[in-house]
């Protein structure tokens, strides 16, 4: 329902909290913590997407090993 919307969980909480019998004032707490949770969620999503893409490429035997093993940009990883 709110996928891809920045802060969508906050708006979803406005709907869900009263349905669970909880006070809407808990949204204030959620708003203060949401940016930290969002950063972790984003890092996890990016990491998962890269892992899934790499594994799928290897599984389908479509990985170009010459690029993967290239030393061309290796120094960028060590900065």
Q: What is the distance between the alpha carbons of residues 66 and 12, in angstroms, rounded to a whole number?
A: 46
Residue 4: predicted pLDDT: 66
Give percent of the chain with pLDDT exceeding 90.
25
pLDDT single digits (tens) 26-61: 888 888 888 888 888 889 999 999 999 999 999 999
CB neighbours of residue 13 within 10 Å: 20
pTM of the model as a whole: 0.58
Q: What is the distance between the alpha carbons of residues 25 and 34, in angstroms, rounded to a whole number?
A: 15
- Residue partners of 41: CB distance under 8 A and separation at least 6: none
Cβ(49)–Cβ(42) under 8 Å?
no
Which is more confident, 24 or 59? 59
Which pLDDT band holds residue 77 (cuts at 50, 70, 90)? Answer: low
């Amino acid at each position: 329902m709110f996928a891809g919307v920045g802060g969508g969980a906050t708006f979803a909480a406005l709907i869900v909290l009263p349905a669970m019998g909880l006070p809407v004032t808990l949204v204030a707490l959620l708003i203060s913590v949401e940016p930290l949770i969002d950063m972790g969620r984003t890092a996890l999503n990016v990491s998962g997407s890269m892992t899934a893409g790499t594994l799928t490429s290897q599984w389908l035997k479509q990985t170009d090993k010459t690029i993967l093993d290239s030393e061309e940009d290796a120094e960028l990883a060590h900065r």
